[in-house]
Structure 1
Amino acid sequence: MTAKRKAYVAAIIYAFVIGLSFMFVKVTLTVASPIDTLAHRFTIALIGIVILIVFTQNMLKINKQDVARILPLALLYPIAFFTFQVLGLARISSTEAGIIQAAIPIFTLVLASVILKEKATREQLTFISLSVFGVIYMLFMNNGNASSENLIGSGFILLSACAASLYNVLARKLTKQYSLMTLTYVMTLCGFVIFNGLAIGNHLINGTLLQFFKPFEHVDFVIAILYLGILSSLITSYLSNYTLSILEASKMSVFSNFATLITILAGVIFLQETFHVYHLIGGIVIIIGVIGTNYFGHKRGAQ
């Protein structure tokens, strides 16, 4: 199997895991606060990567300069990405969140044009506008048919998508400079320190430290947090870094559409979430825009 094929397989697995993660986040939020969920998630992820390093005898050599270089990336993913995601999922359905995050390839292309000076063609700009219209249409319909919290939740998911897009653009350079294990370890460690610091600090201030461990009394929470910690945090960090070390950011971001399909199916089948007609219309418009944007991008690259 060639390196590119391996990268595509990694991207597909990444998208499948991320797609199901929305459902598991919703499960954890039934018994834990958003910040506690993130703290437990990255505690599990850190334990997982430490065990992996010990068993593989992979000695990491990381100095302060390395941490300083990787930290800005870690602030985007996992810190900003997962913070905005969990805050959004606390307010809207996983189906709606998944559809909105399908716009990640569009944000990635726009940011790449600004930061990397990659110019978009007229056709690409047309399809970018189409995807943006799809997102705006969904937000407008949500605002008219749901509670006041819905618009805030959608806004958080949009911010999460922007963080993921910026990460896609900036990660390409670092994946050439550091090993995948080094990047994954530092990013996981940052998530562990920041989220646990915030969660434990909040419980200490309120005198509710024992409640921090209460969610582990629920079997559903334990299963969900293991999935989120090991698969959706640790494994996806490794897979995304691996894929971005081989494929362009725009190609990697296209797989978020597959994740959207998985998210919608999981939400409707397992969580019995309502799927409205405007979800279908908005989702189709967004995906057509993404496919068109990438089609003309590849066509330009082949010329």
Structure 2
Amino acid sequence: MKHKGTKLAYLSALLNAVIIGFSFLFAKMALDYADPMDTLTYRFALSFAVMSIPVMFGRVTLNYRGKPLSKLLLLALMYPLGFFTLQTFGLQQATSSEGGILYATTPILTMVLASVFLKESTTVLQKLSIFLSVFGVVFIFMMKGTGIDWTNIQGISLLFLSCLAFAGYGVMARSLLRTFSPAEISYLMLGIGFVTFLVISLTDHVTTGTLDQFITPLTSSTFIVSTLYLGVISSLLTSLLANYALSKIEASNMSVFSNLSTIVSITAGSLFLREEITIYSIIGSVLIIAGVVGTVFWGQKKT
């Protein structure tokens, strides 16, 4: 039964990566109609509302009584609040390619934090596999002719901190899942994200006298469809999948799957935006897959 649960956890991690990979496409579409903070508000409002339905009807049971809610609030501070806020402001000063390169380092950061705080150990071959998957992502971006402009230290620093926040979330969630269920963590995270982004967004619109712009995106069917994907699938479902996976497998093993999102986003760009798939994209994708498979394989050998 334990082996079955582990296989389901890896399947959840894989599906999580696929969904996130397509989310870049839908986020790009949504941002044509609304600014980043408004998009985040609608995204988390929808995800929180959808999850509230089974909670209200008793299909999903939540029990926070006697549990360390302060730690759960700290978790939400790292993700979604810290991650999305730092990423949004970082991308205002840096390029999306720089964001992609830095995001690829998240598995390394997770491995280090998991080793320090969770005492998770990884073999030399696991470490090499994780580095291989990271190199695959960096290789794709570098061969596109994009790199990191180290003179833009503020934007790079914010993007790095967003990756650190996401890595911290994975490690802390792994620890808290011994006390909270995946649904309990996801519901509070989504609720806090919704309230926080709503307050920030409305405050900004009221201050600038642009409240009408907060409602305008709802007249676009493209924005609505994009938000449905981002809210229900890319926020709610991925939260549940990630938290379930973290309850069964080590944080370092879970995090390496995030680099598969790069392959999915390249495929989505080719299918829907007619973007070219180059030979270096294929080589980088092979390196990413080899790194993920190696991490999982050597991790199972360790146990």
TM score, norm. by length of structure 2:
0.81
**1:55 matches 2:61:** no
Structure 1 residue 297: deviation in Å? 4.2
Contact 1:100 1:135 in 2 (8 A): no
**1:213 matches 2:220:** no
Q: 1:161 to 1:271 in 2, by over 3 A?
A: farther
Structure 1 residue 167: deviation in Å? 1.6
Contact 1:67 1:186 in 2 (8 A): no
Which segment is superposed worse, 105-114 or 214-223?
105-114
**Between Structure 1 and Structure 2, how many residues are aligned?**
300
Letter in 2 for 1:105: P
Which segment is superposed worse, 284-293 or 30-39?
284-293
Aligned mates of 2:138, 2:101 — CA distance in 1 = 12
| Partner in structure 2 of residue 227 of structure 1 | 229
| Partner in structure 1 of residue 253 of structure 2 | 251
> Structure 1, residues 67-89: CA drift from partner, whole Å, max 9, x if none?
31201111222222333455567
Structure 2, unpaired ranges of 5+:
none
Contact 1:19 1:98 in 2 (8 A): no
Aligned mates of 2:22, 2:152 — CA distance in 1 = 21
Q: Helix, strand or coil: the match of 2:57?
A: helix
Aligned mates of 1:269, 1:250 — CA distance in 2 = 31
| Partner in structure 1 of residue 12 of structure 2 | 10
Which segment is superposed worse, 259-268 or 202-211?
259-268
Structure 1, unpaired ranges of 5+:
none
| Partner in structure 2 of residue 202 of structure 1 | 204
Q: What percent of counterpart residues are identical?
A: 42
Aligned mates of 2:186, 2:35 — CA distance in 1 = 25
Query: Which of 33, 37, 59 is equivalent to 1:35?
Result: 37
| Partner in structure 1 of residue 185 of structure 2 | 183
Structure 1 residue 103: deviation in Å? 3.9
CA RMSD of aligned residues (A): 3.6
**1:104 matches 2:106:** yes
**1:44 matches 2:55:** no
Contact 2:263 2:285 in 1 (8 A): no
Aligned mates of 1:114, 1:123 — CA distance in 2 = 19
Q: Helix, strand or coil: the match of 2:64?
A: coil
Which segment is superposed worse, 53-62 or 261-270?
53-62
Q: 1:123 to 1:184 in 2, by over 3 A?
A: closer
Structure 1 residue 105: deviation in Å? 2.6
**1:79 matches 2:81:** yes
Structure 1 residue 250: deviation in Å? 2.4
Structure 1 residue 181: deviation in Å? 2.2
| Partner in structure 1 of residue 194 of structure 2 | 192
Aligned mates of 1:48, 1:160 — CA distance in 2 = 27
Aligned mates of 2:147, 2:72 — CA distance in 1 = 42
| Partner in structure 2 of residue 161 of structure 1 | 163
> Structure 1, residues 60-113: CA drift from partner, whole Å, max 9, x if none?
3435964312011112222223334555677655x8866754443332212212
